[in-house]
Amino acid sequence: MLQKRLIVSILTVFFVVFSLNTVFAEVTFPVKPITVIVPYGPGGGIDTFTRGLTSSSNKYLDQPIVISNVKGGGGSTGIVQVLNSKADGYTLLAQDVNVTTLQLFQEDCPFNNKSLEPIALAMKGPTWMLSPGDRPWEDIQGFVKAAKESPGKLKIGIAGPNSIQLLMGLAIKDYYDLDVTIIPYASGSDTMVSVLGGHADAVIIHSPMGLEDYKAGKIKIIASGAPTNQVVGLDKEVPILKDLGINDEFGFYRGIFAPAGIPSEVKDILVDVFKKMAKDEAFKNFGESWGLKPYWGPPEELRKMMNDYYDSLSKLKNRLLE
């Protein structure tokens, strides 16, 4: 009987120590800086979003968040770097709907939706079409008229070669039967340079890129791929493609991801921290000044958006390109 009690006591101590070690392991994360990889250059939409979101991180973390811009492969180079890192919560990815379109366009794409573990959905909005301020048209109908009158001459720039912007451009070209040239740029900032410099007759880019230039009279917003209710400070009714007969929606989500396999206790900490940052007054002020309302959605909502976009964009790509 004494031996039995001794064994029970030893087991009890073991489980208590194990439980305490688990608790201590949870509260010691992070013990070093967290790197968030932006798979594009500085100044683009995802880069600006990430810096705005993490601006209050020092209020919720004892370690800094470091933003690292890793360009290449239309965004895939940065994604692969995250996936090749240890799934310990110290290397994260900031990305948008292009994580889906890259899978659709890249042959032998080295990742899929299951490769990433959603952490936070923090922004969503429409993809829209802009034109230089000196062009004679005011909306997409005017652009279509000009394209019909000058076949083969007008150029549409897009942010990224394997992107939802490309699919939106192809959908417009197909629906209106236009003879226009679609030119992919490496990033959102490069795309804005092209429209501000008049090198493209229109560009397709995620909002709110271009909003301040529109307010300054430098560009025109001539169409939107989705409702503009998330945009802050827009003073005009922008034609929505669905209302014009193009029965597809073109918008985006922006969020934070970790490599698949991240420990659940580390994920829980990150979800809580990014939720606090997404709801922080600093991010709210950032969104209002940038032109897009912040939005918090849990990992499950982000996962659903990833899968829904993959299904709908797969069908669209097959219809337009195959």
| Residue 45 confidence class, pLDDT cut points 50, 70, 90 | confident
> Taking the model in full, what pTM does it have?
0.83
Start-to-end Cα distance in the chain: 77
> What is the rounded CA–CA span in Å between residue 44 and residue 254?
13
Tens of pLDDT, residue by residue over 130-139, are 999 999 999 9
pLDDT computed for residue 13 by the predictor: 45
- Who has greater pLDDT, 11 or 321? 321
CA 274 to chain centroid, in Å, comes to: 15
pLDDT computed for residue 238 by the predictor: 97
What are the chain's domains? 31-124+251-321 (3.40.190.150), 126-244 (3.40.190.10)
- Percentage of residues in the chain with pLDDT exceeding 70? 91
pLDDT computed for residue 139 by the predictor: 97
6 pLDDT more than 50: no
pLDDT computed for residue 160 by the predictor: 78
| Residue 187 confidence class, pLDDT cut points 50, 70, 90 | confident
| Residue 49 confidence class, pLDDT cut points 50, 70, 90 | very high
pLDDT computed for residue 5 by the predictor: 52
